[in-house]
Structure 1
Amino acid sequence: MGWLFMPRSSMGGHASAKAYLDAQFTYERPQEDGSSRGLKVLASACPGNRVYYAATQVIADGKPGEVFAIVCLVRWNPRDKEGYIFGYKDMEESMGPCEAECPARILDLLTPTDKEYALDWRKRCRANLERRSRKLSDGDRLRLPEPVKFSDGHIGQEFIVAKRGRRLVLRDPDTGGYYRITRLMERAWSIVPTTRVHKTVFA
């Protein structure tokens, strides 16, 4: 499915992209044979109004069935000049979305599947969660898999972690220069083992 854009007046009174999509993917429809089929969103998230993730359960004749993931690309711009503030493009996990930042609480609700693309998507999501859960301490020395070139022309691969309150910056061990790397916690860096000398305390 392609992109669908709409003004606020077409959002059915829903104040956010997440609320609209939750309602859009929760429904029950009668079938010609007298049965009914539908979906129910069990949990969802739309971080930064950029990507919507949902654990969605199949409902057949009122009975709950499998739970699969829906992923929507989202465009949210309340200041759009033409008034089309919201747009989305939906897909299922079995389509192998490139976006793989689904929260664990949603992944945990999904039922087992044998669909290759869905399995690969879930694996990528779990790998991203694991990378983001890593901890960095002040003074850690990290190494990137490949050198990074910065806007000042400097090229570096190993850095010393320096924490400035909640901010985290990287110091080049050779030049002493400070740098920041976007989406650092999602990169495949590793910690370089170092020997730390602790102060001796005399009683």
Structure 2
Amino acid sequence: MGWLYMPRTSLGLHKTAKAYLDAQFTYERPQEGGGTKGLQVLASSCPQNRVYYAAAQVMTNGIGGEVFAIICLVRWNSADKEGLIFGYKDMEESMGPYEDGCPATILDLLTQTQNEYALGWRARCRERLARHQRPLADGDRIKLDQALTFTDGHVADEFVVVKRGRTLAFRDPVTLGLYRISRFKDRLWSIVPTTKIHKTLFA
């Protein structure tokens, strides 16, 4: 499905993309032969208001069945000349979307599937979560899978971690220059083994 854009009035009382899309994907419709079918959003997230992830359960006559993932790209443009300030593009996990930032709380709700694209997407999401959860301490030496070129022209792939609370910076072990690395948690890296000298204690 392509992009769907709308004015602010079409969002109704919903103040966020998450609230609007939760309502869009939660519904119940009567069937010609009797009974009802629909969807129910069990959990959702819209990190940084850019990508919406949801665990949606198929409902048949009020009984829950399969739970699958819905992914929506989200765009806001308050300066749009035609007033179409909000847009989204919806996909299912079976379409193998590129976006793989789905939280574990949503992945854990999904029921089993045999769809190769959905399985591949779920695996990529789990791998990304694992990368984000890797422990990193102040003073660790790391090696990136690919060298980076910085705005000052410096090229390097090894750094010493400078950690101050939640803030991360990276010092070149040779030049001692201090750098920021964008989207660091999404990058591939490994710890470089180093020999640590412990203080000698005298009795």
TM-score interval for Structure 1 and Structure 2 normalised by the shorter chain = over 0.9
For 2:54 and 2:15, how far apart are their aligned partners in 1?
A: 18
SS at match of 1:74: strand
Q: Tell me, in whole angstroms, the C-alpha distance in 2 between the residues paired with 1:81 and 1:16.
A: 21
- In structure 2, what is the Cα distance between the partners aligned to 1:65 and 1:157? 48
**How well do the aligned residues superpose, as a CA RMSD in angstroms?**
1.3
Q: Does the Cα contact within 8 Å between 1:17 and 1:76 map onto a contact in 2?
A: no
Task: Report the Cα offset of residue 118 of structure 1.
Answer: 0.1
The 2-side partners of 1:165 and 1:99 are apart by 28
* TM-score, normalised by the number of residues in structure 1: 0.96
Matched, 1:42 2:42: yes
- SS of residue matched to 1:143: strand
Give the whole-Å Cα distance in 2 for the aligned partners of 1:201 and 1:7. 71
Give per-residue Cα distances to partners, 1:132-165, cap 9 Å, x unaligned: 0012111000001121111111110110001234
SS at match of 1:176: coil
Q: Secondary structure at the match of 1:91?
A: strand
State the partner residue of 2:22.
Answer: 22
- The answer for the alignment partner of 1:185 in structure 2 is 185
Structure 2 distance, partners of 1:39, 1:158, is 49
Between the aligned partners of 1:79 and 1:20, the Cα distance in structure 2 is 20
1:78 Cα shift?
3.8
The one-letter amino acid paired with 2:164 is R
Identify unmatched segments of 5+ residues in structure 2.
none
Query: What TM-score results when the alignment is normalised by the length of structure 2?
Result: 0.96
Please give the alpha-carbon distance, in whole angstroms, between the structure 1 residues aligned to 2:185 and 2:42: 28
| 3-state SS, counterpart of residue 83 of structure 2 | coil
Q: Structure 1's 7 and 140: CA in aligned 2 closer, same or farther, altered over 3 A?
A: same
Structure 1 gaps of 5+ residues are none
SS at match of 1:66: strand
**Aligned pairs, number:** 203
